[in-house]
Amino acid sequence: MYVAQYTDSGFPVVDGVGRVVEAYAYNIAKKGHSCFIAAPRPDKTDREKLEDINIIGFAGLPIPTTQYKLGIPILDIAFNTKISKEQIDIVHVHSPFSAGTAGHLTSRLRKVPLVGTFHSKYYDDFYSVTKSKILSEIGVNIIIDFYNKCDEVWTVSNSTAETLREYGFQKEIIIMENGTDEMPFNESSLDIVRKMFNLSAAPTILFVGQMSWKKNQMLILDTAAALSELNFDYNLIFVGQGPDSEEIKAKSEELGILKNTVFTGHIPEKEILSAVYKLSDILFFPSYYDNAPMVLREAASLNLPSLLIKGSNAAESIIDGFNGFLCSDNAKDNAELIIKILNDKEKLKTIGTNAKDTIAIPWDKIIDKALERYQSLIDAYN
């Protein structure tokens, strides 16, 4: 099978969608099929990191204040020449924007099926930029029009499917969850990480993700401040990069919690990231924006339980007190809950084991299901 994956989350971008596309490409190839990624052209300095994946890059213009590029694949002659030489049985797009439009055009020119995965809360993205409900609704209507052109539409969770329905999509939706790969881990990395980030012996609270206020880091900071007021000692680690990194650091200093807080930036080395997970006692991920966060699955694969907001899309897989924890949007209440959680080490260990058993689904199984759907569409198309 020859599969084309299209995304606007180019490399070296390290957001969730980009990592999903990378996982698809790796695991499809592992199963003996051919797969390439069409994405904004990587920087030259990052090409070596991508040598295991066939990436056909298209031209893009940097978007100010973000780590993204505005792709222009339709106008990129070199890109389209390379695509014309590729054998393609099915096109899978992970964005309704530039890459999605290019993927749609490819599928129609080649007369092959088009799968579209709906990943994000686009209304929230539009509103954060325009501050206009009318313009945001127009943007959502354009997105629904795009997904209506797809032969099959996937979402990463039931709650994400509900979001798509709320936007006005009425066709069938296939749930195709995100998976996780086994995280490499070496015991010797633990001491390295302790020294690297100067971690104390106190319990460690972890956040991994884009450093953007839309991820609700303000609640993490306020909760940490409430822990300090209760004289509870802790380490707070933020792993990630993003447009609001400096503001988040400044806010932690303003709240008087900087002495307990570590900002690592992006950690590309998987063994180091695994050690950070292993040294942590709980992953605190209070995002309302995310749908099926990869970090939740990574943490679970290393027996680390997570704390998420009750009712959020991200918390769909959490059964409170069994394979994770649910909390409110109140910092004081969360501080008291975290103290209770961290003081019961045996229960924390059991819940970490349950998280691994129920949340950390291997990409291998997810890709088997995806390949079945691909083949079904290809057969129906022919």
Q: Is 39 helix (H, G, I), strand (E, B) or coil?
A: strand
Q: Are 115 and 374 in contact (CB under 8 A)?
A: yes
Q: What is the DSSP letter of 9?
A: S
pLDDT tens digit sequence for 243-289: 899 999 999 999 999 999 999 999 988 899 999 999 999 999 999 99
Residue 127: which pLDDT band, with cuts at 50, 70 and 90? confident
Res. 342: pLDDT tops 60: yes
User: pLDDT tens across 11-45, in order?
Assistant: 666 678 888 999 999 999 999 999 999 999 876 54
Assign domain 2-179+362-381 to a CATH class.
Answer: alpha beta
User: Would you state the pLDDT for residue 257?
Assistant: 98
Task: Check residue 47 and give its pLDDT.
Answer: 46
* High-pLDDT (> 90) share of the chain, %: 80
Question: What is the Cα–Cα distance from 189 to 198, expressed in whole angstroms?
Answer: 14
Give residue 74's pLDDT band: very low, low, confident or very high (50, 70, 90). confident
Closest CA to 99 of 145, 157, 59: 59
Tell whether omega for the bond before 184 is within 30 degrees of 0, i.e. cis: no
Which secondary-structure segment (H or E) carries 4? Answer: strand 2-6
* Phi and psi torsions of 3, nearest 5°: -115, 135
pLDDT at 3 over 80: yes
> For the chain, what is the mean pLDDT?
92
For 10-24, 114-128, 219-233, 319-333, which range has the lowest pLDDT when averaged over its residues?
10-24
d(CA 286, CA 184): 26
CA distance 200 to 319: 31
Confidence of residue 65 (pLDDT cuts 50, 70, 90): low
pLDDT in tens, 88-103: 999 999 999 999 999 9
Say what the pLDDT of residue 97 is.
Answer: 93
Averaged pLDDT, 142-171? 96
pLDDT value at 240 more than 70: yes
Residues 6+ apart with CB under 8 A from 13: 40, 67, 68
DSSP codes joined into one string, 119-159: -S-HHHHHHHHH--HHHHHHHHHHHHHHHHTSSEEEESSHH
Q: Which residues pair with 36 in a beta bridge?
A: 4, 54
Domain ranges of the chain: 2-179+362-381, 188-358
Which residues, 6 or more positions from 254, have their beta carbon under 8 angstroms from its beta carbon? none
Residue 325 has pLDDT above 70, yes or no: yes
Closest C-alpha to 231, from 334, 340, 339, 348: 339
CA distance 255 to 118: 37
Q: What are phi and psi of 303, to 5 degrees?
A: 65, 25
The reported pTM is: 0.87
- What integer pLDDT is reported at residue 154 of this predicted model? 98
pLDDT digits (tens, 9 = 90+) for 282-292: 999 999 999 88
Cα–Cα dist 201/263, whole Å = 18
Instruction: Characterise 2 by phi-psi region: left (phi > 0), alpha (psi -120 to 50), beta (else).
Output: beta
Which residues on adjacent β-strands are paired with residue 77? none
CATH ID of 188-358, from 3.30.559.10, 3.40.50.2000, 3.40.50.300, 3.40.50.1100? 3.40.50.2000
